[in-house]
Structure formats: structure tokens, C-alpha cells
Structure 1
């Protein structure tokens, strides 16, 4: 698919650029993960569950930044694919603990390789140091408090 350059009036607008970069990344991610029968959100759930010994659905939802209803849907889908299993917490019977199944661990391993390769291709127009800088900068933006005053984007204000 050919991509037209953004209209000049939009070519320096952060919102426009982030939106279109995200849309392109989403398309490429969906294509890369399709052979594994999961999408990017499901892969994120598998990764978070793998990174922690034991998480309740609610704790996993908090780590992913999704509401509990969305989390139930994600876990239902992954459970239907036999990639995760739920069990009652022995400490608190009101909680569902979610764990990867052996098939879930294997799917995570395979899909992570595909995701990493897709991200490498996505960032290929950048040098290695520029790609690393972009990821660090986005991590800073995402993790900073939203109440911080934004820096000026106008070079004349510097």
C-alpha cells in the first residue's frame, strides 16, 4: 500500500503524526500477529502475566491500564484459546488468579519474536540510535505526570 505524504499544513502537527504512526503500527502489528491467532492487546496480557508470578484479573487490568470489563473480555478470549487459565485465589476466594498455560507461554514466545521483527521493520527508516531515542522519548512522555506543563514546540520560544 502506498502512503501519501501528509498535507504540508499537518506535517508538523504532533497529533496528526502520532495518530498516523499508530495506525500504521497497528496495521503492521495485526499482520505480524495474525499467524499466532492473537492481537496486540492479547499479546500484552500474555506478556504481563508472564512477567508476574501471580496476578488477579483486577491486578493485571491495572498493570495494563484497562477497565475490569475489558480485562474480563480479554481473559475470556485467551481462555477460549487455551492460552490462560483462571483459578480462585486460595487467599481470597473473591479473586480470580490468571496464569499462562504451557501453550500460552509458547504462543507468547513465538509472537514476541514476530512483534520484535515487526517493530524493527517499522523503525527501519530511522538509524539505530534514532530508533532507541524515539522509544526512550515516548516512554518519558507516557510515564510523566499529565499535569506537567508541556514544553514549547516552537523553536523561537527556546
Structure 2
């Protein structure tokens, strides 16, 4: 097994799979998946964003973004409206209920991350995040 556990790709892939499973299980009771929660996190940051701006921040293509927003809109957590400055653009915002759901699901996501990192000290967890950010 050491032949695999010495490979960065193997370790990152399996760590992501484990973390993804923990986050999905934690956010499922809130009716949100990990990708949906990421969309809500970007939308909750501040000013209203266009669909394209949100897609760029998430690093997803427009088609994927439309599908994610369609699902979130069907759940009543986001709403789209035409931009008053440019009628060709859709502005996306959290609904009041969406904001509440985001906060509760985000709390569950953070708890899942703490569970994932439980084998590390707080300093090691902070260092891991710092090092991973360097690779982005």
C-alpha cells in the first residue's frame, strides 16, 4: 500500500473523497449538496452577482452554473432577476429563507471539516490549509 500512499495524487484524491462524503452527509439534512453550498457561499459574500460572475468565482462553466442555479431556485433558496444596468444579465441573490438555510448548512459543513481534521492539531490544520492555498 505504501506504493500508493507515497503518491500525492492518491492522497489528495482519497482525502477529497472522504471529506466530500462527510460534508455531503452533514449538509444533506439541509437539502443541499456540497456544490450547491459552494454556490450559496459565493452569493452570501456581499453584493449581488451575475450568473457569469458567480460561475467565474466558482470556476465552473456557464452550463453547469445554470443547472446549479435552476436546482437552487427550485428549492427556493436563490432568485434570479434581470440586472437594472444590463437587461441581458441575470443577477442572482439568496432569498431570506436561502440565507437561513445557508447558515445552518454552513455550520454543519464546518463541523464535518473539523471531524475530517480531528487527527491534526489546530496548528497542523491551519498549516495544511495554508500549504494547500499555495498550490492554487
TM-score normalised by length of structure 2: 0.98
Query: What residue number does 2:76 align with?
Result: 82
1:117-136 aligned at under 5 Å gives the runs 117-136=111-130
| Bigger Rg over Cα | 1
Query: What residue number does 1:108 align with?
Result: 102
Runs in 1 of length 4+ with deviation above 4 angstroms? none
Partner Cα separation in structure 2 for residue 124 and residue 93 of structure 1: 48
1:26-65 aligned at under 5 Å gives the runs 26-65=20-59
Query: What residue number does 1:156 align with?
Result: none
Match among 2, 12, 22 for residue 8 of structure 1: 2
Q: CA deviation at 1:54?
A: 1.4
Report 1 or 2 for greater relative contact order, CA contacts < 8 Å, sequence distance ≥ 6. Answer: 2
Q: CA deviation at 1:12?
A: 1.1
The SS at the match of 1:33 is: helix
Partner Cα separation in structure 2 for residue 138 and residue 98 of structure 1: 30
Query: What residue number does 2:65 align with?
Result: 71
Q: CA deviation at 1:52?
A: 2.6
The SS at the match of 2:47 is: coil
Partner Cα separation in structure 1 for residue 17 and residue 87 of structure 2: 41
TM-score normalised by length of structure 1: 0.85
